[in-house]
Structure 1
Amino acid sequence: MKSSICSPRTIRKYFLVGAVLLSTCTLQSTIVFASCVLQKTNPAQTRFSIKLQNATLEEFVKQVEQKTGYSFIYGEEVRLNGRITLAVRDLTINEILRKAFENQPIGFEVSGKHILLKKRSMPQKTVSRRFTISGYVTDGASSETLIGANVLESRQRVGTATNPFGFYTLTLPEGEAELIFSYLGYETRHSSFPLNKDTVLNIRLDGNNELAEVIILSDKKEAGIQATAMGAHEIPMTQIQHTPAVLGEADILKTIQLMPGVQAGTEGFSGLYVRGGGPDQNLILLDGIPVYNADHLLGVFSVFTPEAVKNTTLYKSSFPARYGGRLSSIVDVRTNDGDMHRYHGALSIGTLTDKLHFEGPIWKGHTSFSLSARATHTAFFKNLIVDKDDDYADKYNYYFFDINAKVNHKFNDRSRLFLGFYKGKDHYHFDSTDDNSYHNDSQTKYYYKDDSHLNWGNTIAYGRWNYVFNNKLFCNTTISYNNYLMKFTQDMENTQTYQGQITDRYSYFSQFRSGISDWGARMDFDYTPAPEHHIKFGAEYIHHTFRPGISTSKLQEIENGKPQDEMIYNTNNNQALRGQEVSLYAEDNFNLGRHLSLNAGVRASLFSTQGKSYYSVQPRLSTRYDFGQGFSAKASYTCMAQYVHLLSSTPFSMPTDLWVPITKDVRPMYANQYSLGSYYTGLPGWEFSIEGYYKQMRHILEYQDGVSFFGTSTNWEEKVEMGEGRSFGLEVMAQKTLGKTTGWLAYTLAKTDHRFKDGAISQGKWFPYKYDRRHSISLCLNHKFSERIDVGASWIFNTGGCITVPERETIIIRPDGNTESAPYISQRNNYRLPASHRLNLGINFNKKTKHGMRTWNISVYNAYNAMNPNLVYSKWEKEHYDMDGYYNDMYQGNGNPSAPKKIKSRARIKKVTILPCIPSVTYTYKF
């Protein structure tokens, strides 16, 4: 029982005060006092004013007690059906209680200064009809759809959120509806109307410049219920654009690296290693289409041009069932649809690249386009990577570019069509020609040519159709083509002529191609039968064509004026590997009571290749319990399967890395991840979280000891071993989400091990993964001084990863001059690299002009010039040499000259820093 009756001490106090007053006041004062006491004991004579908004029973009781002096008594069985909203003036206590509990299963009885609440049965009512409100939430100026906008019905306290295409649906009982629409950086909009039929309500939200400094990296909201997703972050483009990066290039993947549980493979590069996984275990999506190579310049930059991107979401655990095919993370990048009403864009000139973005209407209000392009300054970059004293400095050339294009057509409120295209390419070229450079005599001349090209990049094209079948069922259909291709060609010629006739000639031409291409079709459905349930289901088909390596070479020779036989070599020609992948999924977000919410789903997939089929059923479950007062806890279990592998022998994202499928001998990879976390959001403008996880991995691939690929896929199945992995860690994050100063501090404690049985690697023992970093800290801050000036800073600290280094090496020199080396390695990844850390700074100077805004950005990457180990290598130092008790000096020839000489050396680790302190300047004009 709950009671707020006054204590005996307080009652005694009131009696003493009354006695003093009665003994000292005049008769008139006594009469007035008595009348006041009489009035307070009569509830029918006193009137009160009370105002409450969405109050719980406890909040209602507390305010009434404070306003009136009454005390409430009630048991735990007394509960509200919904929160109380009340605004009354000059009513008696009985009138207030009747209004408050009019539609509640609560009865009351007033006795003196006490109010007894008791549970009562609600009269049977005719079941009210329910109707559905649906529509799109868009930007008020451009009609760009808003992903994840919140829609709340204030009376029923139920809500939803827009899907990746800006569509929402909400089912409510008949009556007056009061909807609240809100989105980060936009004015909140209210809409009230009588709901007596299914209603289509499209809402346009106006931007709010006052909220421009707000940065939110909170958990991804799902279908308007309490978010169950763990390890999910929605990263605003404002944060990506204000995070300092190398050469001033805002980069999505570099910003994601600042999240807890995410690491860069090599210091300063954009590879993602999430919760102990490898780079191929990340599913990176561009408008729902997989991107197989997401890097430029060996991983320094990603392929995503920020001006083309609308929304980015990272999933590290509790993967929704609609995602599959990778073990470690999902990076879902959505691009702009294009402004339906006006033309505008941006032009940016930076230290490394130029960028152009332009969008606008083709048919105002119905069809729009969005176009973005980025390309490097060839001249600048050549000076950056080539030694100016190199005799061949003018022979090198490198550039990369990205093009994003999208067309959006709105047929009506039910039907929309999207056409999208992306093309990105890296190009390296070396061209050296020497004509008549040497003259032994006037009759003999020499000609030399070396022309080499290395190109790699992605091509993505898709068509997407959104259709609203009814107010509760939304469908998205996508047909896509995706191609990643790497091509290397080399054309060499060395010719000698005498008196104009060819006497000797060596001509060699080679070409190597590798890649993967997909044709895909996908259907996704959103079904909302009730506000408490948000169901997603769908199917996907992908036809994979893998070309791990196709090489062709031709050799022609002329010796002493006589042509030799021409030789042509073909390796792995027409040996493309094909795979058929089919997936089905279903998931449901739902509530169980006021505090508990769940997301339960399952994904079933089939992969067929080389006459063999692999099946997989992957359950997913995540749950959230709300304790109130800003405290909540989450738990999740996720099962994932992966059917493709990336073969790589280098720490960088190299174009020679090879994508290969599972085969009849190489099985799919699987992972089971268990996560548990707690969260606090009770402090306005702040969010705190702590998450722990444990992940098991099976059938992971590693190359055998002493084996590497470097662009050749010949017999690759014989060069790898399948094993198991385990990863566990703790992630802590504190973030400030409101105000002029925003940002976050993240800390990760993690450990990842691999093991391969049968002694194939490290004698079958557990050994650390090469990117196993025990501690990681990232601090990211942004401060807005005014509309004209804002600054950003990020500081990163990582303990070192692991490399494999022979502890010692023995070189045996035999009398015939031949040598043998015998390195000794105790286990794989036996040396831990030193820690790395750096500070990045950036400042923006903004100025509004008559036709737009111009911004100067000044950034400094690695501000205090930390010499971090971007590359490491081992250098051997001679210790001593002896053999069978003899002392042999190979330089002086002492000892027995017929005995083999043994030289023992030890390794010294040398580091190379290729990303020191780098300042940059970027000018951007938005129009």
Structure 2
Amino acid sequence: MTSSTICSHHRIRTVLLMCVVLLSASLHAQAQNKETRINLNIRNATLESFVKQLENATGFSFIYGEEVKLTHRITLEMKQKNISEILQRAFENEPITFEISGKHILLHKRPVPQKPVSRKFTISGYVTDGASSETLIGANILESRRSTGTATNPFGFYSLTLPEGETELVFSYLGYESRHSRFELTKDTLLNVRLDSNNQLAEVVVLSDKREAGIESTAMGAHEILMAQIRHTPSILGEADLLKTIQLMPGVQAGMEGFAGMYVRGGGPDQNLVMLDGIPVYNADHLLGVFSIFTPEAVKNTTLFKSSFPARYGGRLSSIVDVRTNDGDMHKYHGAFSIGLLTDKLHIEGPIWKERTSFSFSARAIPTLFFKNLIVDKDDTYSDKYNYYFYDVNAKVNHKLSDRSRIFLSFYKGKDHYHYDSYYHGDNYDNSIKNYSKDNSHLNWGNTIAYSRWNYVFNSKLFCNTTVSYNKYEMGVDGNMEDAYTVANKVQDRYYYSSKFNSGIRDWSARMDFDYTPMPQHHIKFGAEYIHHTFRPGIATSKIQDIDNGALQEDTVYNTSNSHAMRGQEISLYAEDNFNVNARFSLNAGVRTSLFHTQGKSYYSLQPRLSARYDLGQGYSAKASYTCMAQYVHLLSSTPLSMPTDLWVPITKDISPMYANQFSIGGYYSGLPGWEFSVEGYYKQMKHILEYQDGVSFFGTSTNWEEKVEMGEGRSFGLELMVQKTLGKTTGWLAYTLSKTDHRFKNGTINQGRWFPYKYDRRHSISLNLSHKFSDRIDAGASWIFNTGGCITIPERATIIVSPDGVIEETGYISGRNNYRLPASHRLNLGVNFNKKTKHGIRTWNISIYNAYNAMNPNIVYSKYKKSSYLYQPDGNGGFIEHKEEGKISIKKLTILPCIPSVTYTYRF
């Protein structure tokens, strides 16, 4: 053996010895690090935040790739545990494995055991409340091993197709404890799941536009409004109101300060499709728009869409408000009653036949409903009597025929009523002579909705909902006036006038909706709808009788409006597919086609819809959408208030449907536990929108209405920002909207064919809504709103000319339509709830202050003429040729909703 060979062997032995020493030291250090014990308290952490906290606490360094992901955030509380024990506990239900090497921890995606799989099976069923069996809408179902999932549809049904083998499902829903189900999937499986309520979570979660595994993951401008948040939002007279809460969302505003109208992304009030269990509501307001018709106790779920409308919705341009009502508790009776300054409410639900049939009943009314007259003012010669009331009644019966089949019967009735009666009689010393006058008027309006619904599961992949409904909105005004003079009960002089005016709309409809889930990556919806519309825009009759000195001078009946009903036939077909292209990219592609036939003419429209979402990782995502919408009905209105005299009319052979194309793009971040951030931009084009011609308007009559309007175009664009805090004792959101909306009518009859701002074009809007839970007994809420002013049309100056024969001519100079910008408005609402548990339930005292610092916002704005100059031109004979006045116009505002405190008592049993 040569010396070089010996040296080489010596070097090899030296290197091996050093490696052994280093490896021993590394293993020793690793063992020491493993034995280091720490205390750890982590709440709702993402993988990034969990890793960062462990690195700071232990000194380890984590290494992992983008494929390593959590299925649920980590909540962990451990004392005196080493790093291995912590990681094993954190990842025990996650598709993640770990490896410790020195000061480094390597994370790997846990490989799914692969075995020859030639078959797939479908798991389907209903997700319900564990206590009441109420179906849960939008509950998430996730297969944790494969990171795939779905969500329940509006009827609580889900379907998920998976490969044969070991399966682990996680069922979750906001406000409920998650439930895990592990089993061997060997055949199509029916799995109905009940989730138990987590009261603590229900109080602190507000609303979210994100569903972890939901089918609406591509939706933009979509907000799920939770009933807990509606109840905690302060409102006028303590009346929790669904539409008032929706007004706090970005891109949504009230037409008039303090009222319940909705103007979404530059659209008008008739461009919102408000639905009660899928049935359109034509008038959703009480008390001229101060409140909506929705009783919170009757509502289960509400979803607002401002853009990226799914193809299953249609008929309006600007928004969809989908309100779903309670089905009723299948197990036990419970309810609530409430007494407030304005209304009293009652809600009760329970089983008719346990586990098979349930009911839900809600009623709300002003106590004056039970009085013939609220105000009576009378003396020896006159008497005035007034009354106003409104009420709502919701009733629903839910029967489970089998695990595959359910039927529902539902009824809603709401009404507003106002009447005025006046009587006057003269002083006569001779009892045989009577002189009197009478005057009375009545105004009624309201909705009636009735439907039957059948849910049927054809198989584990195909679900069907069939609905047949009747829907009516009607308004009626009647009054009469009488002046009479009688002698010995014989009429000498009498003038009598009476009038009646009725309008409304009535729909009969049938609809079928199908949910088809061939595989987890595809969730397909398709269906059809037929509606028979009957419009009665205005039916007016009047009668005049005139008796002079005992002789009949006139006895005539007049028909002053169009008494012919206008009918329309509407047929719609739709299909949409929500599918995952890959792990990061998902699409919702759909199309809706509709046909509307009226007055011998048919209108056809094809409305494509497309929305997409891309997961950027680490809590960031981006979305984009395009939506085409068509609308076949119009609302003729003369005032900014929601008046019962507003008239619904259909398109005609001369008035075309309205169309809108909306483009949206947005960015979202949810990587910070308990917080969500979003920014959305949109651009909307509108065609065939209606405006009054200059100088004309409607006041409760549809006579020749087509001649009083013009069709034009509109454009609206804006930016919406929203920050939400969704977890903790303090929750809420801050929203800001920057927007601009213009209209143009090219024929020149309005504003000389130039662009002009829409009357509800408000440049800036801010809303802040907060809730804080001090304890189980006390919670509070606050909301603050700021809006820049809308626009009105006023003359800058006026001229009045009086001719010698007394003829007055008034003219005004107007530079353009909507030429005056109103002042900004802002207000603060406060509310606090005091809760106390009793033997049989919970009683709550609510104290609310509407407009807490008494901001004098302009609820009503009007113009006033003020003379500034006078010109008198004499004729030389002591008379004048004419005289002329020049005047200026000043704007006056009227505040009708100042600071208003209220107290409400509620008992839930």
* TM-score, normalised relative to structure 1: 0.87
Q: 1:37 aligns with which of 10, 18, 22?
A: 22
Q: 2:623 aligns with which of 606, 610, 634?
A: 634
Partner of residue 752, structure 2: 763
SS in 2 for 1:717: helix
Matched, 1:648 2:637: yes
What is the CA distance between 1:395 and its match in structure 2? Answer: 1.3
Contact 1:222–1:589 (CA under 8 A) maintained in structure 2 = no
What is the CA distance between 1:54 and its match in structure 2? Answer: 14
The AA in structure 2 aligned to 1:716 is W
Partner of residue 913, structure 1: 895
Partner of residue 14, structure 1: none
CA 612–683 in structure 1, closer or farther in 2 if over 3 Å, else same: same
- State how 1:281-320 maps to structure 2 within 5 Å: 281-320=271-310
CA 122–708 in structure 1, closer or farther in 2 if over 3 Å, else same: closer
SS in 2 for 1:247: helix
Distance 1:423 1:455 in 2: 13
Partner of residue 217, structure 2: 227
Partner of residue 237, structure 1: 227
What is the CA distance between 1:322 and its match in structure 2? Answer: 0.3
Q: Which runs of 5+ in 1 are unaligned?
A: 1-21, 23-30
What is the CA distance between 1:114 and its match in structure 2? Answer: 13
Distance 1:780 1:639 in 2: 32
SS in 1 for 2:542: strand
Query: Structure 1, residues 865-910: CA drift from partner, whole Å, max 9, x if none?
Result: 111000011110001122xxxx559xxx999733211111111110
The AA in structure 2 aligned to 1:270 is A
- State how 1:393-432 maps to structure 2 within 5 Å: 394-432=384-422
Query: Structure 1, residues 429-449: CA drift from partner, whole Å, max 9, x if none?
Result: 0111224x3328665321211
SS in 2 for 1:132: strand
Q: 1:831 aligns with which of 820, 826, 843?
A: 820
Contact 1:55–1:83 (CA under 8 A) maintained in structure 2 = no
Distance 1:372 1:79 in 2: 50
The AA in structure 2 aligned to 1:802 is C
CA 519–221 in structure 1, closer or farther in 2 if over 3 Å, else same: farther
Distance 2:581 2:104 in 1: 35
Distance 1:379 1:81 in 2: 59
| Segment of structure 1 superposing worse, 562-571 or 130-139 | 562-571
What is the CA distance between 1:34 and its match in structure 2? Answer: 8.2
Query: Structure 1, residues 56-83: CA drift from partner, whole Å, max 9, x if none?
Result: 99999x999x9999999x9x9x979999
The AA in structure 2 aligned to 1:907 is I
What is the CA distance between 1:198 and its match in structure 2? Answer: 0.8
SS in 2 for 1:881: strand
Partner of residue 554, structure 1: 543
Q: 2:803 aligns with which of 805, 810, 814?
A: 814
Contact 2:543–2:555 (CA under 8 A) maintained in structure 1 = yes
What is the CA distance between 1:822 and its match in structure 2? Answer: 1.0
Partner of residue 326, structure 1: 316
CA 818–343 in structure 1, closer or farther in 2 if over 3 Å, else same: same
Distance 1:71 1:269 in 2: 55
What is the CA distance between 1:47 and its match in structure 2? Answer: 13
- State how 1:617-696 maps to structure 2 within 5 Å: 617-696=606-685
The AA in structure 1 aligned to 2:777 is R
Q: Which runs of 5+ in 2 are unaligned?
A: 1-13, 36-43, 74-80
Contact 1:57–1:79 (CA under 8 A) maintained in structure 2 = no
Partner of residue 521, structure 1: 510
SS in 2 for 1:213: helix
Contact 1:339–1:361 (CA under 8 A) maintained in structure 2 = yes
Q: 1:269 aligns with which of 259, 265, 283?
A: 259
The AA in structure 2 aligned to 1:286 is L
Q: 1:254 aligns with which of 237, 244, 249?
A: 244
The AA in structure 1 aligned to 2:627 is T
SS in 2 for 1:753: strand
CA 282–208 in structure 1, closer or farther in 2 if over 3 Å, else same: same
Q: 1:707 aligns with which of 684, 693, 696?
A: 696
CA 804–123 in structure 1, closer or farther in 2 if over 3 Å, else same: closer
Partner of residue 450, structure 1: 439
What is the CA distance between 1:686 and its match in structure 2? Answer: 0.4
CA 918–54 in structure 1, closer or farther in 2 if over 3 Å, else same: closer
The AA in structure 1 aligned to 2:841 is G
What is the CA distance between 1:186 and its match in structure 2? Answer: 1.0
Distance 2:18 2:809 in 1: 112
What is the CA distance between 1:397 and its match in structure 2? Answer: 0.8
Query: Structure 1, residues 144-169: CA drift from partner, whole Å, max 9, x if none?
Result: 01111111111011111111111111
Partner of residue 279, structure 1: 269
Partner of residue 726, structure 2: 737
Partner of residue 184, structure 2: 194
Contact 1:352–1:380 (CA under 8 A) maintained in structure 2 = no
Distance 1:385 1:621 in 2: 56
Partner of residue 355, structure 2: 365
Percent identity (aligned): 73
Partner of residue 486, structure 1: 475
Partner of residue 202, structure 2: 212
CA 412–223 in structure 1, closer or farther in 2 if over 3 Å, else same: farther
- The number of residue pairs the alignment matches comes to 868
Distance 2:736 2:108 in 1: 50
What is the CA distance between 1:363 and its match in structure 2? Answer: 0.5
Matched, 1:749 2:732: no
Distance 1:268 1:756 in 2: 31
Partner of residue 19, structure 1: none
The AA in structure 2 aligned to 1:921 is V
Distance 1:674 1:545 in 2: 34
Distance 2:731 2:21 in 1: 55
Matched, 1:595 2:587: no
Contact 2:373–2:385 (CA under 8 A) maintained in structure 1 = no
CA 288–576 in structure 1, closer or farther in 2 if over 3 Å, else same: same
The AA in structure 1 aligned to 2:172 is S
Distance 1:912 1:685 in 2: 42
Matched, 1:577 2:577: no
Q: 1:501 aligns with which of 490, 495, 519?
A: 490
Query: Structure 1, residues 342-388: CA drift from partner, whole Å, max 9, x if none?
Result: 11110100000000001111011100000000001329999999999
Distance 1:713 1:833 in 2: 30
| Segment of structure 1 superposing worse, 126-135 or 275-284 | 126-135
The AA in structure 2 aligned to 1:858 is I
SS in 1 for 2:274: strand
CA 384–450 in structure 1, closer or farther in 2 if over 3 Å, else same: closer
Partner of residue 762, structure 2: 773
CA 331–222 in structure 1, closer or farther in 2 if over 3 Å, else same: farther
What is the CA distance between 1:766 and its match in structure 2? Answer: 0.5
Contact 2:369–2:390 (CA under 8 A) maintained in structure 1 = no
SS in 2 for 1:280: helix
- State how 1:83-102 maps to structure 2 within 5 Å: none
The AA in structure 2 aligned to 1:749 is L
Distance 1:305 1:792 in 2: 20
Partner of residue 862, structure 2: 873
CA 410–522 in structure 1, closer or farther in 2 if over 3 Å, else same: same
| Segment of structure 1 superposing worse, 231-240 or 590-599 | 590-599
The AA in structure 2 aligned to 1:827 is G
CA 319–387 in structure 1, closer or farther in 2 if over 3 Å, else same: farther
Distance 2:791 2:108 in 1: 67
What is the CA distance between 1:263 and its match in structure 2? Answer: 0.4
What is the CA distance between 1:500 and its match in structure 2? Answer: 2.6
The AA in structure 2 aligned to 1:149 is A
SS in 1 for 2:297: helix
Contact 2:539–2:563 (CA under 8 A) maintained in structure 1 = yes
Query: Structure 1, residues 514-569: CA drift from partner, whole Å, max 9, x if none?
Result: 00010000000011111111111000000000000001111112111012342111
Distance 1:392 1:310 in 2: 50
What is the CA distance between 1:474 and its match in structure 2? Answer: 0.5
